[in-house]
Structure 1
Amino acid sequence: MALAVTSASKTTSAARDRVRVMVVDDSVVVRGLIARWLEEQPDFEVVASLRTGQEAVDQVERLDPDVAILDIEMPVLDGISALPQLLAKKRDLVVIMASTLTRHNAEVSLKALSLGAADYIPKPETARGVTTSADFKRDLVEKVRHLGQRRRRMRGPRPAPATPAPSAPALGRPAVHALATDKAPPCKLRPFSHTMPRVLLIGSSTGGPQALNEVIAQLGRVIDQVPVLITQHMPPTFTTILAEHLSRASGKTVREGVDGEPVVAGRVYVAPGAIHMQVARRDNQPVIVLRDGPLVNFCKPAVDPLLVSAAQVWGGASLCVILTGMGSDGAKGAAELVAAGGSVIAQDEASSVVWGMPGAVAQAGLCSAILPLPQIAQKVTRIFSGERS
């Protein structure tokens, strides 16, 4: 068992402002590396580095972390067993599941989301892979930052110590890491297109699997009318299982897109992990096009390639929904879709796990509606029934 507990000298207003992180992984190399990456960031504080889920459960109340990075496969108590116990002791804890890219671990990661985990991160299969993966490091740091800061804002400032330094001013979050949504002006809305949509396009990332499940489960009539194409930032295997979950939730045919297959009503197409899904028109028929190009907005699959190609295929007969997610992927494609006459709906900030992607399109003035998650499927259904306001 290894612990890294904050010293008294760090109990200052600056330390209280940092995102407190607990790393739980049975590999001493992996947890040491992750802890070092996080400690390099000025807005993080690693409060513990633990080997098992049981250690995390036993100490979570005393350590009071904002975020826990929880490995799935551990001795004594594994991650999926520890998750509900951690949340029972600390309801506002942000849990990020870490797992390798096996089908079993992908299933467990998606189950963890339904049990209250905030997100997951695919982990290289070996300690050497973790050491050399710049993508894993970047994604981990950004997930901890965005999810941790959001939880800190919702929770409010951490109480000051019993004997604070005299005249010490309270510190806010470091300005360099403040999110673009802070003190943002109200977003201007555009009129919906007067053209009846012939396709529904959905982009999502962090928090997306839960949001997609809620939206797709309510879109039965819409799916019967038009094809639905989804890009969710996910690795291979995860997208396969996501499609299976969405198929069960909706009772419709949901599967990963296949290169060259026709895009038809009654089906939902999910972009496969690690490849961009686009559309093209061949012999006057829309078809799926899979392209193994470079990362777009640090992602593959990315939302922008799908939306840009859809603007060329369906133009003003396109309706796009941007759900919760980090970053700004989808903003460029949404702009081209709107320029072609299409319409965009964004999930609102309050219901988003992270208001990065929907916030980017909203603040760019590209949206015709900005709605809480429970209202999105209802609005989409009304649009496909003829509503244009």
Structure 2
Amino acid sequence: MTFSSRKIRVLIVDDSASVRMTLSEIIGSDPDLEVMATAADPYVAVERIRQEVPDVMFLDIELPRMDGLTFLRKIMAQRPIPVVICSSLAEAGSDTLMQALEAGAVDVVTKPRVDTAQFLQESRMRICDAAKAAAHAKFRGVHKPAPRLVVEAKLDADAIIPPHSEARAASVRARQPDTDPIICIGASTGGTEALREVLEPLPAISPAILIVQHMPENFTNAFARRLNNMCAIEVKEAEDGDVVLPGRALIAPGNRHMLLQRTGTRYTVSIVDGPHVSRHRPSVDVLFRSASQTAGRNAMGVLLTGMGDDGARGLLEMRQAGSYTLAQDEESCVVFGMPKEAIQRGAAAKTVPLNRVAGEIGIYARAPRRTGS
């Protein structure tokens, strides 16, 4: 039986009864999901798993009797299960959550916020999407089939950046001066490790890089610090007005959109609020559209692993504007959702495995002429 013919079964492990109840209500409200069981600590969770192995486990970090990070490591060593960390530590940008991703967690979400209807709806969307992505992620060499999804109506990049008319786009392309190349990268589920594999081999003198990785608010700062310690290039969480420079990677802050802007041959980033675009904030589509309109043939777009279609339309717009575009191949993706959508739309000029993306960036940076063809 596949996920297309049954619901995704979720185990919730959290010591707070109110959090277990809220998560159960959120997960149970989605037609593709159901709560298999709940547990107040890892020992109770183990007993539940002995009775039935869940498709996905939502796990808190701060737990009685055994902390969640220790439990995660034991699970991954003994009986791997797709795990989504659901913790208040995400709001503080804790480095502990980076350790959880390194230990094998598929994703990180903040605990559901119920203080306003908007926050509750945003929490519901993020939690359900994370459960579905985790359920059909490639896991220790096993590729689970994607569940049948009922996708809700969603906003596109028009909500943040108006599209150019064909005449306006042609005029911009004709007047566009050559500048230093800019690399724009989008990723979601599985993206934290994918981005490390892309950025770590790059030399200190590399093109400027802009990144949207779907992450909770504040968590992107810890992620940027981790990468900065591992890479030859500078990696930082983007701030409004940051200058886009060679040898620097800017990561969009969680819960805010990042746009590329240009004055003459000088690029900066703008960090803005706004609605979710393609079900995400920050949205890859927003970054890619801004790059298509401001950088065009001076930019390269890269779409990595992730569920859904965020970035697919934007990558196509980049290619149409003269950018060089890449999509990660299915074999190396944790979730072949976003790249698959881009490939099907004709947005990717080339499809490559993850371990070749850094090399493609180097080739593009050295190319005498940049083109999207």
2:20 corresponding residue in structure 1 = 31
Within the candidate set 104, 116, 124, 1:137 is matched to 124
1:14 & 1:146 partners in 2: Cα distance? 12
Please tell me whether residue 251 in structure 1 is matched to residue 240 in structure 2: no
Deviation at 1:250, TM superposition (A): 0.8
Match for residue 254 of structure 2 among 273, 289, 299:
273
Partner of 2:99: 111
- Pick the aligned partner of 1:98 from 86, 95, 100: 86
User: Could you report, residue by residue, the CA deviation over 1:180-231 in whole angstroms, capped at 9, with x for unpaired residues?
Assistant: xxxxxxxxxxxxxxx99711111111111111111100122xx514211111
1:15-30 aligned within 5 A: 17-30=6-19
- Using structure 2 for the length normalisation, give the TM-score: 0.82
Where 1:145 maps in the other structure, the secondary structure is helix
Q: Runs of 5+ in structure 2 lacking a partner?
A: 152-177
Q: 2:201 aligns with which of 218, 229, 232?
A: 218
Give me the whole-angstrom Cα distance separating, in 2, the residues matched to 1:231 and 1:132: 21
Displacement of 1:86 in angstroms is: 1.5
Q: Counterpart in 2 of 1:337?
A: 318
Cα distance 1:156–1:233, how it changes in 2: closer, same or farther (>3 A)?
closer
Match of 1:71 among 37, 60, 72: 60
1:350: how far off? 2.4
| CA–CA distance in structure 2, aligned partners of residues 96 and 148 of structure 1 | 10
**Pairing of 1:137-216 with structure 2 (within 5 A):** 137-150=124-137, 175=148, 198-216=181-199
Q: Following TM superposition, by how much is the alpha carbon of 1:113 offset from its aligned partner in structure 2, in angstroms?
A: 0.7
SS at match of 1:135: helix
Alignment check: 8 A CA contact 1:197 1:319 kept = no
Separation in 2, partners of 1:175, 1:299: 20
Structure 1 pair 364–131 and aligned structure 2 pair: CA distance change class (3 A): closer
Q: Secondary structure at the match of 2:59?
A: strand
Matches of 2:143 and 2:294 in 1, distance apart? 47
Q: Aligned residue pairs: how many?
A: 344
Q: Which amino acid aligns with 1:134?
A: Q
CA distance in 2, matches of 1:244, 1:14: 37
Distance 1:89 1:225, change over 3 A: closer
Q: How many Å apart are 1:173 and its aligned residue?
A: 8.2
State percent identity of aligned pairs. Answer: 33
Give 1:233's aligned residue. 214
Mapped to 2, the partners of 1:263 and 1:151 lie a distance apart of 34
Q: Hey, what's the Cα distance between the residues in 2 that align with 1:122 and 1:249?
A: 26
For 2:296 and 2:317, locate their aligned partners in 1 and report how far apart those are by CA, in whole Å: 9
1:44 maps to 33
1:330-377 CA-partner distances (Å, limit 9, x unpaired): 122212211111111111222222222111111111112212212221
Determine if contact 1:61/1:89 at 8 Å carries over to the other structure.
no
For the Cα contact (< 8 Å) 2:112–2:124, is it kept in 1? Answer: no
Match of 1:121 in 2: 109
Q: Offset at 1:61?
A: 3.3
The aligned counterpart of 2:74 is: 85
Task: Indicate the RMSD between aligned Cα atoms, in angstroms.
Answer: 3.1
Give unpaired runs (5+ residues) of structure 1: 1-11, 158-171, 179-194
Conserved? CA contact 1:17–1:173, under 8 Å: no
Q: Indicate the structure (1 or 2) with the bigger Cα radius of gyration.
A: 1
Query: 1:255 aligns to what SS in structure 2?
Result: strand
Check conservation: 1:279, 1:310, Cα contact below 8 A: yes
Partners of 2:210 and 2:343 lie apart in 1 by: 21
Match of 2:298 among 297, 314, 317: 317
